[in-house]
Amino acid sequence: MVFSSRYGKATMGRLAALLVAGALGMDASAAGAACVGLGQARALVQAGTIVPLMSALGAARGATKGEMIAGSLCGSTGNYRYVVTFLRTDGRVVRVTIDARTGEVVSVK
């Protein structure tokens, strides 16, 4: 296959994991809440309503290892959540949900 020889096995593994995650519905909208755009997220951080994404990523990286492959901010006033998806070295896709107000990990699935 031209793609695998050109980009390598690691890239093929990441692509496969992303396709599986998408097929399983493992995206931020699966959390059951509307996601917000970058502009609205920036305004929420500046207002002190939520912690910055980098703080949330620190908590997420403490909860699991692997390469971050997706991240979203979802929810509504008073109940925002960062949903960060990782691809572990064993090929498993893990979704970490962080309370955007406190920066604490809520769940790891």
pLDDT in tens, 70-88: 999 999 988 999 999 999 9
Share of the chain above pLDDT 90, in %: 64
pLDDT of residue 32: 56
**How many other C-beta atoms are found inside a 10 Å radius of the C-beta of residue 2?**
6
Q: What are 61's two structure tokens? A: 């990286």
Count of domains in the chain? 1
Calculate the average pLDDT of the chain: 79
What is the reported pLDDT for 24? 35
The confidence score (pLDDT) of residue 10 equals 52
Q: How confident is the model at residue 20 (pLDDT cuts 50, 70, 90)?
A: very low
Range of the domain at 34: 2-108
43 half-sphere exposure, CB direction, 13 A CA radius: 6
